[in-house]
Amino acid sequence: MSGFTHFDAEGRAQMVDVGDKPATERIATAKGRVVMAPETLAMIVEGRAKKGDVLAVARLAGIMAAKKTADLIPLCHPLMLSKVAVDLVPLPPDRIEIEATVKLTGQTGVEMEALTAVSVAALTVYDMVKAVDRGMRIEDIRLTHKSGGKSGSFDAA
């Protein structure tokens, strides 16, 4: 099954050997968004200014989730992340843009950690606001930057 490194020659799932890779600095950035009713976003923005900061709770949840990636994604390696930052920006009238950047010096990339941080931050926004808007959607979670490692850099919108 050429190309899918998480299977061996017999098609059995495995955690691939990264022991021979050099330890280099790896950075990954992922993005995504939560789309909602304009009134819902207005409530979040208003609450932030006053009391009850949905975005601060979601940011923390995203950071903590990055540390749990190897526990969630079956074939991910456990990693000692050296940095995790998550940002949520309200974009009126109807969305919150989420971006996560993860960094480590190690033998494997941190794309999954960045994507997991964005996903869980988005889920946390949903959880905190679902009582007023069940129709929210989590959209467009993707990798936007990756550097370090032999496969070279990657950049996308």
Q: Closest distance between a copy of itself and the C-beta of residue 95, in Å?
A: 14
55 is in an annotated binding site: no
Among the options 127, 133, 140, 155, which is catalytic?
Answer: 127
- The residue among 38 and 71 lying less far from a copy of itself, judged by its C-beta, is 71
- The residue among 96 and 112 lying less far from a copy of itself, judged by its C-beta, is 112
In sequence order, what DSSP letters do the residues of 63-112 get, joined into one string? HHHHTTHHHHSTTPPP---SEEEEEEEEETTTEEEEEEEEEEEESS--HH
Q: Closest distance between a copy of itself and the C-beta of residue 16, in Å?
A: 7
Q: 137 phi and psi, to 5 degrees?
A: -130, 140
Establish whether 87 is a catalytic residue: no
- Is the Cβ–Cβ distance between 124 and 58 less than 8 Å? yes
Where in the sequence numbering do the catalytic residues fall? 127
Q: Which residues are annotated as a binding site for substrate?
A: 75-77, 112-113
